[in-house]
Amino acid sequence: MASISPRPHLRGLSSCPHGVLLQCEAEAMALAPGDVIDFSANVNPFGPAPAVREAIAKADIASYPDDAALRQVIAAGLGIAPANVLPANGSVELLWLVVQAYLSPNDPVLIVGPTFGEYERACLIGGARVHWLRADAAQEFYLDLEETARLLDLYQPRLLFLCNPNNPTGVYLRRAEIERLLAHCQRTLLVVDEAFVGFVEAADSLIDLAVDGRLLLLRSMTKDHALAGLRLGYAVGDQETMAALRTVQPPWNVSAAAQAGGIAALADREHLALSLARIREAKHYLAQEIISQGLKVYPAETNFLLAQVGDAARFRAALLRRGCCVRDCSSFGLPDCIRIGVRSVPDCRRLVAAINEVLREG
């Protein structure tokens, strides 16, 4: 019996590469999990707040989850109504919901890159026509606002995806620059992915712009709160947009454990503040040490660094043999760069020593 074919436009579409050392790769290199320090993931290396695990253990996993309590906690922290918040199974789920709610086949979309590959993948699965604007390394990947505005006027895309601060470059656009883009989004929903905004010192708030319906904010709690294994994020927007996303959202998408962990994480501001301070200290040390070894490190407002190393795949493999896993940025279209998630100072010292060995070998 012949199998039923999937939609034709899915042919040739593959999964999107991400960071994190896979078990199969570690086994092929005879590396035990404890032998490798993972700098490829951009997650708070100091883990979740202590109360998170206790809250998870007490979660009612025998009942269907209701996200009302989590929405209220998030909304109270942001000073907005619960109706303007939509929790999700990580911010990636929100990308898929946006595509389902707002894109029809052949709709134009504009993506600012180099950036997170799931934007394009979700749009292509939805059948959209994807247009790219790639920031220039010569300008340290800072976005050309005039060119972006020109392309918005030219393509009139249904959606504009902007990662802010951007992954993997670390570039952060201030509120005034976002407002300049909004002036050209008369027929475009500006989707601002703030997955890493928690690591930005003195970040500008876009909450009011989202609540007014001028843009849609996507936020992740898997990064700064270290809940990657639980999967938790949320969207902020006007009530009409939230209703549209909830219409296409699967039921019970955020587990009771994730909700309980998220509420506990949001309650412990001291743990997060301490973690951020330690990350900034380690980031300063790591950037200065890598630069002192003659490598280019791009300015970044995030908990990760983008470094130019030549052959990124070879460099990553050499570091991995020394027990340090970084992200090869070839999948971002940057085959000469690696991305390094900042960890503790002792871990960073080990990475600096490994980089020094690799550079000495040539």
Pick the last residue of a domain from 248, 267, 286. Answer: 267
pLDDT for position 287: 98
Q: How many Cα atoms within 13 Å fall on the side-chain side of residue 11?
A: 4
CA nearest neighbour of 282 among 199, 201, 342, 356 = 342
Residue 27 clears pLDDT 80, i.e. is over it = no
pLDDT of residue 123: 97
Mean per-residue pLDDT, 327-351: 97
Closest CA to 231 of 66, 82, 57, 91: 91
Q: Is residue 222 part of a domain?
A: yes
Percentage of the chain exceeding pLDDT 90: 90
For all residues of the chain together, what is the average pLDDT? 95
Q: Does residue 125 sit in the same domain as residue 225?
A: yes
The CATH code of the domain that includes 33 is 3.90.1150.10
Asked if residue 281 and residue 255 are part of one domain, the reply reads no
On whether both 238 and 330 belong to a single domain, the answer is no
Q: How far apart are CA 337 and CA 192, in angstroms?
A: 24
What pLDDT is stored for residue 2 in this prediction? 60
23 pLDDT higher than 80: no
- Examine residue 216 and state whether it is found in any structural domain, yes or no: yes
227-236: per-residue pLDDT in tens?
999 999 999 9
pLDDT at 1: 56
Provide the pLDDT for residue 7.
82
256-267 helix and 68-78 helix, angle to the nearest 10 degrees: 30
Give CA–CA dist 10/12, Å, rounded: 6
Residue 104 CA from chain centroid, whole number: 25
Both 43 and 148 in a single domain?
no
pTM of the model: 0.95
The number of C-alpha atoms within 13 Å of 25 and in the hemisphere containing its C-beta is 11
Instruction: Please report how many Cα atoms fall inside a 13 Å half-sphere around the Cα of residue 81, on the Cβ side.
Output: 8
Residue 12 resides in a domain: no
Average pLDDT on 256-284 reads 98
Where residue 33 falls among pLDDT bands split at 50, 70, 90? low
The answer to whether residues 211 and 274 belong to one domain is: no
Residues 302 and 250 in one domain: no
Count of domains forming the chain:
2
Residue 356 lies in a domain: yes
% helix / strand / coil in the chain, to the nearest 5? Answer: 45, 15, 40
- Provide the residue type at 11 as one letter: R
Angle, CA 298 vertex, CA 309 and CA 206 arms, to 5°: 140
Q: What domain range includes position 322?
A: 17-47+270-361
Same domain, residue pair 24 and 82: no
Domain boundary among 242, 267, 292: 267
CA dist., res. 326 & res. 342, Å (int): 10
Q: What whole-number distance in Å separates Cα of residue 247 and Cα of residue 260?
A: 24
Give the model's pLDDT for residue 13.
80
Between the two ends of the chain, the Cα-to-Cα distance in Å is 57
The pLDDT of residue 17 is 77
Q: Among the three residues 232, 267, 302, which one is the final residue of a domain in this structure? A: 267
Burial 258-281 (b: 16+ CB within 10 A, else e): bbbbbbbbbebeebbeebbebbee
- Residue 24 clears pLDDT 80, i.e. is over it: no
Does residue 128 share a domain with residue 74? yes
